[in-house]
Structure 1
Amino acid sequence: MVEVARAGRADIDWLVRADASAGEAWVSRCVALGEYLVAREAGEIVGFLRFSRFWGRVPYMEMIRVLPGHRRSGVGTALFLAWEDAMRGDGARLLMTSSECDESRPQDWHRRNGFSETGAIELPGLQWVPEVFFIKRIA
């Protein structure tokens, strides 16, 4: 049984290791702002979802990651659905996410979860391939 909840201070060390590209300062900031959800099975964290707000308003899913031994078992979907419900509860009418244009599996996942492609941008010096953006209307 997967349980999803907002991350707390006790989860920071695990998140710093699991979301290594974010760095400790960013992880701590996001936890303090309630911008992480964690999924637990049998009391152990098996995945997380990190988000922010694009332009300070539109909920933007920055990262969703499930530990290898727990993938394709519904953990990612549970994280996403909990986030979608929380954002709807906050009054959001639109969700946003993205992936690199050559990442077909994440893009398929976004589409299965109701997102549609809305455009792409190139980020010279930051990425080698364009970033594809997706939106989902939830109002």
Structure 2
Amino acid sequence: MTDPNITTANSTHKAWLIEHDPHVDTSWINRCIFGGEYIIALCGDSPVGFIRYSWFWGKIPYMDMVYVVPEQRGRGIGRKMFRHWEMLMLAKGGDVLMTSSVVDELEPQAWHRSNGFHEQGRISFGSFQPQSEVFFIKDLSC
């Protein structure tokens, strides 16, 4: 397999995103596509992964979700999408990045740390999410 093409998702990717991003509803997927807030990895014309992001307080780039199809994991696709997103956020004036994971998700936390993020604290959301959420920051100003 050749290296995937990393780009901003568009409406042609909508059906695939609906199928592979079940954590949000279709209206949110539409909003993110329209706002350019999906980074997608393509092998040929076939999507193999995405990053969905938003803006914390309307200013801080926040990586909501990173996903790679199971059969393509371990090939560096997530890291390539992350590097693409990081450069895009730098170009947009971002000097800090933010992300999070549930406290018991050790593999995602290790991935965030391996990409330069540092834990900054935890928040409990009560009955909405019984486990605490661990927040991570990456300072791009260094």
Give 1:43 shift.
Answer: 2.2
Distance 2:23 2:95 in 1: 29
What 5-or-longer segments of structure 2 have no aligned partner? none
Q: 1:99 aligns with which of 74, 98, 101?
A: 101
Distance 1:79 1:124 in 2: 32
Q: 1:47 aligns with which of 46, 49, 60?
A: 49
Give every structure 1 segment of 4 or more consecutive aligned residues whose post-TM-superposition deviation is greater than 6 Å.
Answer: none
SS class of match (2:52): strand
Give 1:126 shift.
Answer: 1.3
Distance 1:43 1:31 in 2: 17
SS class of match (2:128): coil
Q: How many residues align?
A: 139
SS class of match (1:56): coil
Q: 1:9 aligns with which of 8, 11, 14?
A: 11
Give the aligned CA root-mean-square deviation in angstroms: 0.6
Aligned to 1:122: 124
Give 1:128 shift.
Answer: 1.7
Q: 1:25 aligns with which of 20, 27, 32?
A: 27
1:28-52 deviation digits (Å, cap 9, x = unpaired): 0000000001001132100000000
